Structure 1
Amino acid sequence: MTIIRNAGQALLGAVLTFAGITHLTVARDEFQAQVPGWFPIDADFVVLASGVVEISLGVALLTVWRQPARGVLGLIVAGFFVVIFPGNVAQWLEHKDGFGLDTDTKRLVRLFFQPLLVLWALAATDAIGTVRRRLRSRVGA
């Protein structure tokens, strides 16, 4: 299980790092489709800032392996996926094309993959186990 968990964490770290780099370079326009029209901050700034955050989280996933920091990092990454979810919903509701999501059906189907990213972050870092262990140690203290 440890090998699978480690591989999952490393892969997620690589995916986030790569995605963050593309936010800053070749996919800036595509990512802007995910910034809600109602969001009061410039879409390009949001894409650049979220790219920096993704790179930071990705690199952290590639370098942080000891508990409890690893589990805390998993919670932060899962939280990041939750925070950006409204952008995915807005892309669907506002009928914005991006990344080949050129129909409402494709954009809707994509929404169901976001919870999988949350679960991936939690499982790969043993975030839930870390929280349980921390709570038990506080109760026993």
Structure 2
Amino acid sequence: MKSIARVLLGAGLIFAGIGHLTFARKPFQAQVPDWVPLKKDDTVVYSGFVEILMGASLIFAPKKYRSQVGLLAAALFVAVFPGNISQYLNKRSAFGLNTDGKRFARLFFQPVLVYWALKSTSRGRKVLKAG
């Protein structure tokens, strides 16, 4: 079950990363906070590459590195969370998040992603306690 969860998360990150570079590039710009020092499009492109690499790492990293990859994936989800907050605070519609309620509800999904990354890559409870 953990392997399926890990592969699904990795595939989701690869899909999102491809979206950053192609079909969803403009909507992803809505999530980039104004305080990020790079151009919004550059931020979206760079983060797309990171998401593709992270997704591939979740799927293909050797078993002995899965816990570390899970920690990195969780850190990525924490790092991009300010973008979700910015989207909510600035009332930027993207990805069907076109109301304050929907944008607010989206904020509660990020901790789920962090947990998913940690749980699907850990050896029992070790990573969750060591983090």
Identity across matched positions, percent: 48
Aligned to 1:96, the other structure's residue is in SS state coil
Q: Which residue of 1 aligns with 2:106?
A: 110
Per the TM alignment, residue 65 of structure 1 is displaced from its structure 2 partner at its CA by: 3.9
Match of 2:91 in 1: 95
Q: Equivalent residue of 2:41, what SS? A: helix
Q: Which runs of 5+ in 1 are unaligned?
A: 135-141
Superimposed CA distance per residue, residues 72-124 of structure 1 (whole angstroms, 9 cap, x where no aligned partner):
00000000000000000000000101101111111000000000000000000
CA contact (8 A) 2:119 2:128 kept: no
Moved over 3 A (4+): none
TM-score using structure 2 length: 0.93
Structure 2 gaps of 5+ residues are none
Query: Does residue 71 of structure 2 align to residue 75 of structure 1?
Result: yes
Decide whether the 8 Å contact of 2:10 with 2:55 is kept in 1. yes
Whether the 8 Å CA contact 2:21–2:45 is kept in 1: the answer is yes
| Partner Cα separation in structure 1 for residue 82 and residue 89 of structure 2 | 10
Residue 7 of structure 1 aligns with which residue? 4
Give the whole-Å Cα distance in 2 for the aligned partners of 1:121 and 1:49.
21
Q: Look at both structures and tell me which one has the larger radius of gyration over its CA atoms.
A: 1
